Amino acid sequence: MDIKVIGVIGAGTMGHGIAQVALQAGFQVLLGDVAKDILEKARSRIAFGLAKGVEKGKFSETQKEEMFKNLTLATTLADFAAADFVIEAVAEDFSIKKDVLGELDRVCRPEVILATNTSSISITKIAATTSRPSRVIGMHFFNPVLLMRLLEIIRGLATEEKTVAVTRQLAERLGKIPVEANDSPGFLANRILIPMINEAIYALMEGVGTAEAIDTVMKLGANHPMGPLALADLVGLDVCLAVLRTLHEGFGDSKYRPCPLLVRMVEAGFLGQKTGRGFYSYEHTRKE
Ligand SMILES: NC(=O)c1ccc[n+]([C@@H]2O[C@H](COP(=O)([O-])OP(=O)(O)OC[C@H]3O[C@@H](n4cnc5c(N)ncnc54)[C@H](O)[C@@H]3O)[C@@H](O)[C@H]2O)c1
């Protein structure tokens, strides 16, 4: 399959990163978001990210200009008719994904693969909302997309072999290392990671240690590059909560119950780095 134009819908934390990685790999990128301000911000973040690439000697100024020229901001979902492969990175909410995928299914050519970057929602369930379940697949990137090599590939019950093969090839062209996981709540990475983050939040809520103590213990004691609370702030507390709810509902096991402190923080709008406040404060480091 000849993929030239990659459509990325959802231009937040993950979407803008996926778009930049695709631009750097030489693709034309069509980037869309329901919020025009987020879309504009994504364009600036990509420009900033590409300039950093030049600074670090990854590519030349001329190559950077070419990459940036390959970025088009979509004004409506109908623009995605031009895409050869679409990656969905909208909010972790089944009803939103269902509406977006449904619309993409109507506008994209029948052979186009619709990949979802969902962290935990069933690929089979998402695929079933379209008329092309054999060409729907999970393509789970990691944050920050530019740096993280892993890409979980998840097939739904109806996903065909060719879809998996094309997606694996694309993952490699994007410089990622694909690992396959079955369609089970949280797949592999979040099944293991998010309950650990939840446990760290319980330890904080119960006063077993400070945020700094909890993170230091895991950095120095388990050799993790960052502690679970700092990682939760990076991932987004709303995303962590959504994944926990999917695990809790999917397995019906109380061990996945979200920590009340996490629920309260999300209710307060303390979502981590993206809002400037989570378990730590980022007000002084915010670029926007
Ligand atoms: N944050 C992470 O570390 C991480 C890692 C892997 C996967 N994911 C998954 O990636 C997806 C996006 O997460 P994120 O962290 O980038 O969230 P985010 O909140 O930063 O971005 C989501 C974007 O979706 C947009 N959006 C909402 N409804 C839309 C619609 N109807 N049409 C178009 N755009 C719409 C929002 O305006 C927002 O910009 C989620 O499914 C999440 O679970 C997140």
pLDDT digits (tens, 9 = 90+) for 85-138: 999 999 989 999 999 999 999 999 999 999 999 988 999 999 999 999 999 999
Per-residue DSSP letter, 108: S
> Does the pLDDT of residue 285 top 70, yes or no?
no
pTM of the model as a whole: 0.91
pLDDT number for residue 120? 85
The Cα–Cα gap between 63 and 31 comes to 20
In the chain, residues under CATH classification 1.10.1040.10 are 190-279
In the chain, residues under CATH classification 3.40.50.720 are 5-181
Determine the CATH number of domain 5-181: 3.40.50.720
Q: Which two tokens stand for residue 3?
A: 């993929």
The Cα–Cα gap between 13 and 31 comes to 13
pLDDT band at 287 (very low <50, low <70, confident <90, very high): very low
* Superfamily in which the 190-279 domain is placed by CATH: N-(1-d-carboxylethyl)-l-norvaline Dehydrogenase; domain 2 (1.10.1040.10)
Q: Which two tokens stand for residue 164?
A: 């998996």
Q: How far is the CA of 2 from the centre of ligand 1 (A)?
A: 27
Mutating to test ligand 1, I would choose from 33, 231, 275 the residue with most ligand atoms within 8 A of its C-beta, which is 33
Decide: 5 in ligand 1 pocket, CB within 6 A.
no
pLDDT band at 8 (very low <50, low <70, confident <90, very high): very high
pLDDT number for residue 288? 43
Decide: 88 in ligand 1 pocket, CB within 6 A.
no
pLDDT digits (tens, 9 = 90+) for 183-225: 999 999 999 999 999 999 999 999 999 999 999 999 999 999 9
pLDDT number for residue 286? 55
Three-class SS string for 181-193?
A: ECCCCCCCHHHHH
* DSSP-derived 3-state class of residue 125: helix
Decide: 119 in ligand 1 pocket, CB within 6 A.
yes
The Cα–Cα gap between 158 and 26 comes to 31
Average pLDDT over all residues of the chain: 96
Backbone angles phi and psi of 174, in degrees to 5: -85, 0
Distance of CA 51 to the CA centre of its chain: 22
The Cα–Cα gap between 8 and 42 comes to 12
Tell which atom from ligand 1 comes closest to the C-alpha of 143.
3
Tell which atom from ligand 1 comes closest to the C-alpha of 236.
1
pLDDT digits (tens, 9 = 90+) for 21-37: 999 999 999 999 999 99
What residues act catalytically? Answer: 119, 140, 152, 190
Q: For residue 279, what are the CA distances in angstroms to 34, 171, 189?
A: 28, 33, 22
> Does the pLDDT of residue 284 top 90, yes or no?
no
Residue located nearest, by CA, to atom 30 of ligand 1: 34
